[in-house]
Amino acid sequence: MVRSSTCKPAHRPLVAATLALTVAFLIPTSALATAGQATVSATIPVGMYELTDTQRGHELAVDGFGYLLVPGKPALPARIFAIAIPPGAELVEVTFDAGAGIALPGTYQIPPAPLPRVIGEEDPTLYAADQAEYQQNYNAVYGSDQPYPQNLVEFVRTAGYRKYNLVDVRVTPFTYHPLSGRLLYHPEITVHVHYELSETPAPALVDNLTTTERIAEDIILNYEQVASWYDDGAAAGRGLHDYVIITLDSLTSAVAPLVGWETAKGRNVEVVTTTWINTNYSGYDLAEKMRNFLHEK
């Protein structure tokens, strides 16, 4: 469920600062937090906007933002942000504070998002249906003075990147009233992600490869806030590895170049044979034994 709320108005536009896959997930012994509901809050970095008068109408652009591209509805700047919640946490709801907004002087004609077309191989029946939907969207929004979008912040999906448990939200920092042409700007938006931890929270994962952490820092809005949820030193003393290669006994020498390459990059690499796993781990079959090995390492 997504719920909006209001708070104080702001003043003028502000400038704000803005998958790789390997077998490298490591599980420490430390547990996280206690059961119950909690909230993570993050302030959205809304950059400077630009308003251009074109033949189609007034076009808005915000640094680092794309657009709401629902055919027939206003093409307003929008962007999806990823907000991290603790490992094992379940999303309850998303709310936000945005204030009353800043009313831009004058009236505006924000053009609708166009209807995508397939050049050369367009099915007339499908295109007619798309046109009907476009017109329905246009009439519903532009025939009213209700604010669009109704919510500046919308829940998109739950997601994940490596060890991180993410909630994706779409943020639109403008509200448009089509009939009156009023346009409001919201430079200060704070998103609140409410989550719940179970009685037995999932263990925090250790996955500290430098390259993937750089990506995580770029894509996770509250990256600095989540560091305490993960145990950076848990790998020491538990036989954990950055990179594990599982191979046959006869092929151990063949993977030596890969081991040397990964080691040169600073990774702790372990080569394990299927025979060793089959002897030292329990499971219904070799596949399950390999899964149990990877879960531990």
3-state SS track over the chain: CECCECCCCCCCCCCCCCCCCCCCCECCCCCCCCCEEEEEEEECCCCCEEEEECCCCEEEEECCCEECCCECCECCEEEEEEEEECCCCEEEEEEEECCCCEECCCCCCCCEECCCCCCCCCCHHHHHHHHHHHHHHHHHHHCCCCCECCCCEEEEEEEEECCEEEEEEEECCEEEECCCCEEEECCCCEEEEEEEECCCCCCCCECCCHHHHHHHHHHECCHHHHHHHCCCCCCCCCCCCCEEEEECHHHCHHHHHHHHHHHHCCCCEEEEEHHHHHHHCCCCCHHHHHHHHHHHC
- Choosing from 175, 201, 229, the residue where a domain stops is 229
Phi, psi of 143 (to 5 degrees): -90, 10
Question: Do 109 and 181 share a domain, yes or no?
Answer: yes
Whether 266 is in a domain gets the answer yes
Tens of pLDDT, residues 267-284: 778 888 889 888 888 888
Domain that holds residue 81: 36-229
CB 221 within 8 A of CB 82: yes
Burial of residue 87, with CB atoms counted within 10 A of its CB: 0-12 exposed, 13-18 middle, 19 or more buried: buried
Question: Do 275 and 159 share a domain, yes or no?
Answer: no
Question: Do 145 and 82 share a domain, yes or no?
Answer: yes
pLDDT reading at 23 higher than 70: no
Question: Do 119 and 54 share a domain, yes or no?
Answer: yes
What pLDDT is stored for residue 204 in this prediction? 55
Question: Do 190 and 274 share a domain, yes or no?
Answer: no
The single-letter code of the amino acid at 180 is S
What pLDDT is stored for residue 263 in this prediction? 78
**Domains in the chain: how many in total?**
2
What pLDDT is stored for residue 69 in this prediction? 92
Q: Which one of 12-26, 150-164, 253-267 scores highest in mean pLDDT?
A: 150-164
* Average pLDDT rounded to a whole number, residues 15-31: 30
Question: Do 177 and 263 share a domain, yes or no?
Answer: no
Question: Do 189 and 68 share a domain, yes or no?
Answer: yes
Question: Do 89 and 61 share a domain, yes or no?
Answer: yes
Question: Do 128 and 260 share a domain, yes or no?
Answer: no
- Choosing from 195, 229, 263, the residue where a domain stops is 229
